[in-house]
C-alpha cells in the first residue's frame, strides 16, 4: 500500500490558491480513477482506491499547511507504513509554472508543509514538486502562494493535472520515469513530424544576353560615302 499526500489549506477560501495545487493533484487522481468518496480521518480527508495492482490511500491534511506533519504521522501509524511508501504532492516556487519534478528525500527548502513533515517523520519520502513559478521577490511570496491561479494559468494547470492522473498508475508501480513521461506528453507534447516542407521558390529565368554592338570606327566621310553606295 502507498500513501500519497496532497498539501494545501482546508476550506473554500483557499481552494483555488497556488499553495493548494497538491490538493488539486490528489483530487484529480481520486476523481479520474474511481477512488472512494473523501472521508474524515487522521486530521484530514482520506480517499482510497487502486492504481493497477497497487492499493493507494490519498490524504489531504486539514491541519493547515504548517501542521501537515501531524496528519501524515497519524495515517502512517494507523497503516503501519514506512516513510519510504509516502509521496507528497506540493507547490514549488523554484520551478516554472507547469513544470514537474520527482524527488526522493532531501531538504524542505523553506516549504512549511514539508518542514512540518520533516519535523514529525524525517525526510525519507518522495516528493512531486509542482511548479507554480516565483513572484520575483521573497517579500511577495506569501501573497503569491495564497492567491488563486489566474485565468491565464488554467490551460497549463489542466494539462499538468491531467498528466499526473494519467501517469498515476506508473507512479504507484514505482516507475518514476514512465510517470514523468506521461506528464510530459500533456505539458510538452512532441511536435508533429508530418508537417509538409515548404515548396522551393522557382528558379528565376536566365536573362537573355544583350547583343554586343561592335564599335563603329569609320570616319564621317567614309560613313557618308557608304550611305550613297
Write the pLDDT tens digit of every residue in 143-178.
Answer: 999 999 999 999 999 999 999 999 999 999 999 999
Longest dimension (CA), the chain: 128
* Options 19, 33, 90, 111, the catalytic residue: 19
Q: What is the mean pLDDT of residues 24-46?
A: 98
**Are 69 and 85 a contacting pair, CB within 8 Å?**
no
pLDDT over threshold 70, residue 29: yes
Neighbours of 83 (CB within 10 A): 17
pLDDT range class, residue 190, cuts 50, 70, 90: confident
SS3 227: helix
Assign 33 to helix, strand or coil. coil
Residue 125: φ, ψ to 5°: -135, 165
**What domains are there in the chain, each with its CATH number?**
2-187 (3.40.50.1470)
Residue 64's pLDDT band, with cuts at 50, 70 and 90, is very high
Q: What is the pTM of this model?
A: 0.82
pLDDT, tens digit (0-9, with 9 covering 90-100), for 50-61: 999 999 999 999
pLDDT score of 135:
95
C-alpha cell belonging to residue 69: 506533519
Q: Which helix (H) or strand (E) holds 144?
A: helix 141-145
Q: Grid coordinates standing for 137? A: 521577490
Exposed, middle or buried: residue 107 (CB in 10 Å: 0-12, 13-18, 19+)? exposed
Of the candidate ranges 14-18, 66-70, 100-104, 206-210, the one whose mean pLDDT is the lowest: 206-210
pLDDT surpassing 90 at residue 227: no
pLDDT of residue 209: 52
Say whether 19 is catalytic: yes
- The pLDDT tens digits for 132-146 are 999 999 999 999 999
Kindly tell me if the per-residue pLDDT of 72 is higher than 80. yes
pLDDT at site 189: 86
Q: Which residue has the higher pLDDT, 184 or 222?
A: 184
Whole-number Å distance between alpha carbons of 7 and 90? 5
Q: Are 87 and 56 in contact (CB under 8 A)?
A: no
* Per-residue model confidence as pLDDT tens digits over 192-217: 655 454 555 555 565 555 444 455 66
User: CA 202, CA 132: separation in Å to the nearest integer?
Assistant: 49
Helices of type H across 13-95: 21-32, 68-79
Amino acid at each position: 500500500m502507498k500513501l500519497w499526500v496532497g498539501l494545501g489549506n482546508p476550506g473554500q477560501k483557499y481552494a483555488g490558491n497556488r499553495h493548494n495545487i497538491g490538493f488539486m493533484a490528489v483530487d484529480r487522481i481520486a476523481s479520474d480513477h474511481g477512488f472512494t468518496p473523501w472521508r474524515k480521518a487522521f486530521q484530514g480527508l482520506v480517499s482510497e482506491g487502486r492504481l493497477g495492482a497497487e492499493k493507494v490511500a490519498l490524504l489531504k491534511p486539514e491541519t493547515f499547511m504548517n501542521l501537515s506533519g501531524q496528519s501524515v504521522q497519524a495515517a502512517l501509524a494507523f497503516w503501519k507504513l514506512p516513510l519510504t511508501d509516502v509521496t507528497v504532492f506540493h507547490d514549488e516556487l523554484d520551478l516554472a509554472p507547469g513544470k514537474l519534478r520527482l524527488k526522493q528525500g532531501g531538504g524542505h527548502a523553506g516549504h512549511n508543509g514539508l518542514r512540518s513533515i520533516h519535523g514529525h517523520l524525517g525526510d525519507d519520502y518522495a516528493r512531486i514538486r509542482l511548479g507554480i513559478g516565483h513572484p520575483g521577490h521573497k517579500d511577495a511570496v506569501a501573497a503569491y502562494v495564497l492567491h488563486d491561479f489566474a485565468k491565464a494559468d488554467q490551460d497549463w494547470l489542466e494539462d499538468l493535472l491531467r498528466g499526473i492522473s494519467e501517469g498515476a498508475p506508473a507512479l504507484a508501480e514505482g516507475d518514476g520515469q514512465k510517470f514523468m513521461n506521461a506528464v510530459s506528453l500533456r505539458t510538452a507534447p512532441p511536435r508533429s513530424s508530418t508537417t509538409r516542407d515548404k515548396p522551393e521558390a522557382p528558379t528565376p529565368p536566365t536573362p537573355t544576353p544583350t547583343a554586343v554592338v561592335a564599335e563603329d570606327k569609320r570616319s564621317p566621310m567614309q560613313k557618308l560615302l557608304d550611305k550613297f553606295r
